[in-house]
Homo-oligomer: A and B are copies of this chain.
Amino acid sequence: MTETDARAAGSGRRRPARERLLAAAARRFYADGVTATGIDTITAEAGVAKMSLYNNFSSKADLVRAYLDARHEEWLALYRSRLERAEGPRDGVLAVFDAYADHAESAYEHGFRGCGLLNAAAELPAGDEGRTVVRRHKEEVERLIAGHLEHLLPERPNDARTLAEHLSFLLEGATARAGLEGDGSRLQHARAMAAALLDSL
């Protein structure tokens, strides 16, 4: 580990401006919304000069794109961690649900508020590429479920595809409802529904 890495990890000295900005943006964008959060709020919370933002990102829109990418990667990390402990395709499907539940259990400033990507997409204008990022994220989640189901139903690819769509709707709907209610119990219900569907195959 180099000196620079040690600092980046926060052991000796403070983390570089880019990391602090992304962390602050993640908190404020999620809690207060993208449009309602100003540049000054983010730099103040990051403890960083405004010029450090524009040295690392070309505009606020660029920071928003980095925020969306980071949320997608963050979810993938939760999923992969759950997948390591999974045994067989049934556990694989449930790992997707568990990854969202893990997300909901994270410590948030103002409680769970649903999927950060979907919330951001709701604010983005019609043609914004950020909406495509979010759409692709949701399609990847459905594809991951479908991949597990293909192993579970090798003789019935059509059923596997339909069931994957069904399960991805369940997950998405439960996340939205959990966000409105501020806690993750709806996600536990959805996981139980998914498990019951898998057992009835």
A residues neighboring B (CB under 8 Å): 31-33, 35-36, 110-111, 113-114, 118-127, 131, 134-135, 138, 162, 165-166, 168-174, 176-177, 179-181, 186, 189-190, 193
- Determine whether the beta carbon of B31 is less than 8 Å from that of A181: no
Q: Which of B33, B131, B138 lies in contact with A123, CB distance below 8 A?
A: B33
15 A-B pairs besides A36-B123, A173-B174 with CB distance below 8 A are A31-B126, A32-B125, A33-B124, A35-B36, A110-B125, A113-B126, A121-B180, A165-B186, A165-B193, A166-B193, A168-B177, A169-B172, A169-B186, A172-B172, A176-B176
Q: How far is the CA of A36 from the CA of B158 in the complex (A)?
A: 42
Q: Which chain B residues lie closer than 8 Å to A126 at the CB level?
A: 31, 110-111, 113
| Shortest beta-carbon distance from A143 to chain B in Å | 13
Copy number in the complex reads: 2
- Determine whether the beta carbon of B176 is less than 8 Å from that of A118: yes
- Determine whether the beta carbon of B35 is less than 8 Å from that of A33: yes
- 10 A-B contacts (beta carbon < 8 Å): A31-B126, A110-B126, A134-B180, A162-B193, A165-B186, A169-B173, A169-B186, A169-B193, A172-B173, A173-B176
The 5 closest A-B pairs by CB, nearest first: A172-B173, A169-B173, A173-B173, A110-B126, A119-B122
A135/B169 contact (C-beta < 8 A), A32-B125, A35-B123 known: no
Q: Which of B118, B127, B169, B180 lies in contact with A170, CB distance below 8 A?
A: B169
Nearest B residue to A169 by beta-carbon distance? B173
Q: Which chain B residues lie closer than 8 Å to A120 at the CB level?
A: 122
Q: Which chain B residues lie closer than 8 Å to A134 at the CB level?
A: 180
A123/B121 contact (C-beta < 8 A), A169-B169, A190-B169 known: no
- Determine whether the beta carbon of A125 is less than 8 Å from that of B36: yes
| Shortest beta-carbon distance from A3 to chain B in Å | 41
